[in-house]
Chain A
Amino acid sequence: MRFVFKTDYNQDIRLLKHSGYWWSYGALLAVLIAFPYLVGSYLQSQIVFVFIYAIVGVALIILTGFTGQASLGHAAFLAIGAYTAGFLQSQGISFIVYFPAAAIITGAVGAMVGFPALRLSGIYLVIATIAFAFIVEEILARWESVTHGNEGMRVRTLDFLGQPIPRDSDAFYFLCLLVLVGSILLALNLLRSPTGRAFIAIRDSETAAKSMGIDLAGYKVKSFAISAALTGMAGVLFAHKMSFISPEMFTLLLSIEFIMVIIIGGAFGVHGAVLGAIFIVMVDPFLTALKDDVPVLGASLATMLGMAPDAAGKLRETMSAIGSAAGLKGAIYGLLIMMFILFEPYGLYGRWLKVKLFFQLFPLYKKATFKRQKTYVKSERNR
């Protein structure tokens, strides 16, 4: 275990704490850059989705993980970003302009949602964001001159200063990677600045934050705006990746998926967003494998263990029937959410920290290090 002896504040807030960080993150970046040349197009496209989900995850971690404001309306922010991109592109405006424009517009809408949040907390805030998302969804379906309503809208190939970037190309992969790395750096820098400290103070106790002189209203609105703007940028990438957008893609279920990203990944650190995004996006390929490969594998394994061929055939059919049952994805999602909340509330990143600490302290690791405090004296209602 390396012990960093800190002598000043700048050392304490440094992003790369010691030389080991250079090596590990450098290696990670190298792998990510080499990825398009190593894997097939299907996997590459899944990784692009991981990047997009991870950007939304970072946005949600800023809002939910660090400011403590729950939101089940992030699909609406994604939709606003996506539709802004689609509409401005169809008006012949260049990517250089509409990418930041989408972020600014979504950020402004986010600030508007932030204002009611000044008075609402807890469950009332959750329902307000759900209501907001429903209203946005309905506006998208009705405002036909701009959004083409329920028919949906085609988004043309991304055009970067005259250079077309098709959605399956390596260039698109690198663009998404760039935006993700940018937003992670933004989040990390934000969180070590006074603004980020204020966010954390608001999460831990609004009353205490207020008495320390933190302007609750300003910071909450700021948090909503930043989170929405990041999600809007992800929306632009999402629109180009899908190449077709329609209102029913941005429902409450998508918002729940985004919340799942940070629950599974762990909401207390930016790493969680990326880990959770990998996990959520890879559920689909996993389901395909469950449908196609696992039954065959299971049957041949059973034959190898001495099962009669027709019995093995029946086993394969049963397994593939289970694998292709309608709604299996929902059941898996539901189980995942419940399991993570019950058994690993810190998410994958928390598990990683525990494993790391276990080896660092080897014989002296205590389980209680990560124990969360339960509070039975409820005050949420009186807040």
Chain B
Amino acid sequence: MLDFIQQLVSGIALGCVYGLIALGFVLIYKATEVVNFAQGDLMMLGGFFVFTFIGLIGLDYWLGFLFAVCGMAVFGMATERILIRPILGYPQFSIVMATIGLGYFLRSIAGMIWGTDDLRIETPFSAGVLKLGDLVIAHDKLSVIVATVILCAVLYAFFNYTRMGTAMRATSENMLAAYYMGIPVKRVVSLIWAISAAVAATAGVLLAPITFIHSNVGLALGLKAFPAAVLGGFGSIPGAVIGGLIIGVIETLAGFYLPQGWKDVAPYVVLLIVLLVRPHGLFGPSMRKKV
């Protein structure tokens, strides 16, 4: 029984990692209906940023954290301006491909600049565990869980209760109408890319002690976080986190109880089954277009 709970807890920790990256996917999708396949690579870049600030320049952890998040927010804005704005309004698949291209590009450039070795940084969460009876949770994993819950709550409130959040939802429904209503659509889109890149950077920094910093880490995690976002129903913030939790728990339990090989496939099998039953994910809108 304890084994099961321990696995469940580490599954939840892993799921929060996926959820945190999936949040970034969902944010951009929610505001602009763009699917950003480079989200995992933005996270990877955030990790490298924090390594540069802490490992190379030697800043304090929290200061480096702040700089990395701000740096990535600027980077996200720049990406939106250069790559996404000119093709906004074209078919969804071309934008998807453009972001896949961006991911490729970032991965090799990061590999060229920072090398291909595993990099690591010292963080306040690196050592130390939390003991609850017989249950053991490492601090670095706990930090991910806490950050995911906080970010999810803050972003949910932002989207549902602030003027800017409402403007973003309006932009997502119909850009032209939002523009006529006086919403600064360009600024909204810019802002959402900045927020999304900042969330990705947060994920990258918190993951740095767990997965280490490597140019391919974004691809691997992004490919798991993406099903998480889809499972939750693209465009739902709590859905992203719940989707991430489901994927994470299934992966961990499958790795523990099922024969070797199931660990990597089980999340995708579950995803396919869910999509067959609910084509728009668990929490996605189930409306149909009317003529």
User: Considering only CB atoms, which chain B residue lies closest to A345 in the complex?
Assistant: B94
Query: Does A330 sit within 8 A of B, measured CB to CB?
Result: yes
Chain B interface mostly: helix
> If A207-B289, A379-B289 touch, does A338 touch B102 (CB 8 Å cutoff)?
yes
Whether the Cβ atoms of B103 and A334 lie closer than 8 Å is yes
- Could you tell me if B261 and A334 are in contact, using CB atoms closer than 8 angstroms? no
- Of all chain A residues, which has the CB nearest B38? A334
A377 touches B (CB below 8 Å): yes
Q: Smallest distance from the beta carbon of B227 to chain A beta carbons, Å? A: 6
Q: Which of A141, A256, A329, A342 is in CB contact (< 8 Å) with B98?
A: A342
Are the CB atoms of B271 and A131 closer together than 8 Å? Answer: yes
Q: Which residue of A lies closest to B290 (CB)?
A: A382
Number of interface residues of B (CB under 8 A): 59
Interface size, A (range): 35 or more
Query: Judging by beta carbons under 8 Å apart, are A377 and B174 in contact?
Result: yes
How far is B265's CA from A327's CA once the two chains are assembled, in angstroms? 28
Check B154 for interface membership: any CB of A closer than 8 A. Answer: no
Q: Which of A128, A132, A342, A378 contacts B33 (CB 8 A)?
A: A378
Residue from the list B33, B89, B98, B265 in contact with A381, Cβ < 8 A: B33
* Residue A120, interface by CB 8 Å: yes
Interface residues of B in 95-154 (CB under 8 A from A): 95-98, 100-109, 111-112, 116
User: What 0/1 pattern do residues 56 to 73 of B give for CB contact below 8 A with A?
Assistant: 000000000000000000
- Asked whether, in the complex, the Cβ of B86 is within 8 Å of the Cβ of A342, the reply is yes
| A327 CA to B116 CA, complexed, in Å | 10
Q: Are B98 and A330 in contact (CB under 8 A)?
A: no
Contact B101 A134 (CB under 8 A): no
A380–B90 alpha-carbon span in the complex (Å): 12
Which A residue sits closest to B268, measured CB to CB?
A: A131
Determine whether B255 belongs to the interface, using a CB cutoff of 8 Å to chain A.
Answer: no
In the complex, are the beta carbons of A376 and B89 less than 8 A apart? yes
Whether B280 and A124, one on each chain, are in contact in the complex, defined by CB atoms closer than 8 angstroms, is yes
Query: Which residues of B (214-236) have their CB < 8 Å from a CB of A?
Result: 215, 223, 226-227, 230, 234-235
The chain B residue sitting closest to A332, CB to CB, is B108
In the assembled complex, A302 has its CB within 8 A of some CB on chain B: no
- The answer on a CB contact under 8 Å between B90 and A345 is yes
A residues less than 8 Å from B161 (CB atoms) = none
Given known pairs A124-B280, A252-B223, the reply for A334 and B106 (CB within 8 Å) is yes
Q: B269 contacts which chain A residues (CB < 8 A)? A: 131, 135
One of A123, A259, A330, A383 near B230 (C-beta < 8 A): A123
B275 interface contact, C-beta 8 A: yes
Q: By the criterion CB–CB under 8 Å, are A123 and B234 in contact?
A: yes
Q: Say whether, besides A132-B272, A380-B92, A331 and B108 are in contact (CB < 8 Å).
A: yes
Chain A at the B interface: SS class: helix
Contact indicator A376/B174 (Cβ below 8 Å): yes
* Chain A residues whose C-beta falls within 8 Å of the C-beta of B35 in the assembled complex: 123
Q: How far is the CA of A127 from the CA of B92 in the complex (A)?
A: 14
B176 at the interface (CB under 8 A from A): yes
Q: Say if the beta carbon of A31 comes within 8 Å of chain B.
A: no
Q: Which of A135, A328, A374 contacts B90 (CB 8 A)?
A: A374
Give residues in B with beta carbon < 8 Å to A. Answer: 33, 35, 83, 86-90, 92-98, 100-109, 111-112, 116, 172-177, 179, 215, 223, 226-227, 230, 234-235, 261, 264-265, 268-269, 271-272, 275-276, 279-281, 285, 287-289, 291
The interface of chain A, by Cβ under 8 A from chain B, is: 64, 70, 116, 119-124, 126-128, 130-132, 134-135, 138, 141-142, 207, 211, 252, 256, 259, 263, 325-331, 333-338, 341-342, 345, 372, 374-383
9 closest residue pairs by CB, A with B: A337-B101, A334-B105, A334-B104, A374-B89, A327-B108, A330-B108, A376-B175, A131-B268, A331-B108
